[in-house]
Amino acid sequence: MKGGYTTNILYECDEFLLAEKPAGLPVHETKDPNRKDFTRLLASYLHLPDLRTANRLDLGTSGIVLLGKNPDKNKEIDSLLADADKEYIFLCSGIPDWKEKRFECFLKDGNKEVQMVRSGGKKAITEFTILSQHPDENCSFGLAKILTGRRHQIRVMLRELGHAVLGDPVYSHSETETEEKRMYLHSFRLCFTDFQGQKQWVETDIPKEFSTRVGKPLSVPNQTK
């Protein structure tokens, strides 16, 4: 793509495609019309002027983005995304005293921050699994499967659990966590049923910054088909 950014096209059909967004690039147009964004860069690169972002990733989050190519299929593409299984990988601060945890809460949008509330919010559910612990780096590598698609869902929940995403500029517990090179959250795997009724499993590589941060290779268990 233009602007020095690169991406991988992970899956493509007549109606939509899946591409990998880099960290630090807005997924779509911001208030500043001169600021580069992933959707417009990709639309220009692929010569697809009608390209539309179906799912939103935060600025610091990298990974899989679903983009519609055919405006007549917007409703069907949104339904495909709603029914898909979505898994993220993360590095979080500290060593949790649990291996697996299902977290349920209600979230309410604010201006810059999302808050957990007792009433007036939307239900959010995430299933967390810690894949490896790295005491020397005081962090852990994990997988998060989101069962709802709320803004900042994983980030808010990990902060509440006492193990914020490394490099999170909003929800970290200390200034040292915001000195990281990036926010270590990545949309890793999307499992969906295509328009022909076939099950598809699409995933990315683990970003090299993750392994570099902990000083050793990282791995994620294969999806059970």
pLDDT digits (tens, 9 = 90+) for 129-186: 999 999 999 999 999 999 998 999 999 999 999 999 999 999 986 665 557 889 999 9
Which amino acid appears at position 112 of this protein?
K
Distances in Å between the Cα of 99 and the Cα atoms of 30, 55, 95 are 38, 28, 10
> pTM for the full model?
0.94
CATH fold label, 85-191+198-213: Pseudouridine synthase (3.30.2350)
**C-alpha–C-alpha distance, residues 219 and 151, integer Å:** 27
Q: Which residues contact 201 (CB under 8 A, 6 or more apart)?
A: 189, 191, 223, 225
Domains 1-83 and 85-191+198-213 share a fold: yes
Question: Residue 134's pLDDT is what?
Answer: 97
Domains of the chain by residue range: 1-83, 85-191+198-213
Q: How many residues does the chain have?
A: 225
**C-alpha–C-alpha distance, residues 214 and 139, integer Å:** 8
The domain defined by 1-83 carries CATH number 3.30.2350.10? yes
**C-alpha–C-alpha distance, residues 78 and 126, integer Å:** 20
**C-alpha–C-alpha distance, residues 206 and 18, integer Å:** 16
Question: Residue 174's pLDDT is what?
Answer: 64
The DSSP letter of residue 148 is S
Question: Residue 6's pLDDT is what?
Answer: 74
Question: Residue 126's pLDDT is what?
Answer: 97
Residue-wise pLDDT tens for the chain (225 aa)? 666 677 899 999 999 999 999 999 999 887 787 889 999 999 999 999 999 999 989 999 999 999 999 999 999 999 999 999 999 999 999 999 999 999 999 999 888 889 989 888 999 999 999 999 999 999 999 999 999 989 999 999 999 999 999 999 999 866 655 578 899 999 999 999 999 999 999 999 999 999 999 999 999 998 754
Where on the phi/psi map is residue 120: left (φ > 0), alpha (ψ -120 to 50), or beta?
A: left
Q: Rounded to 5, what percent of the chain is helix, strand, coil? A: 20, 35, 45
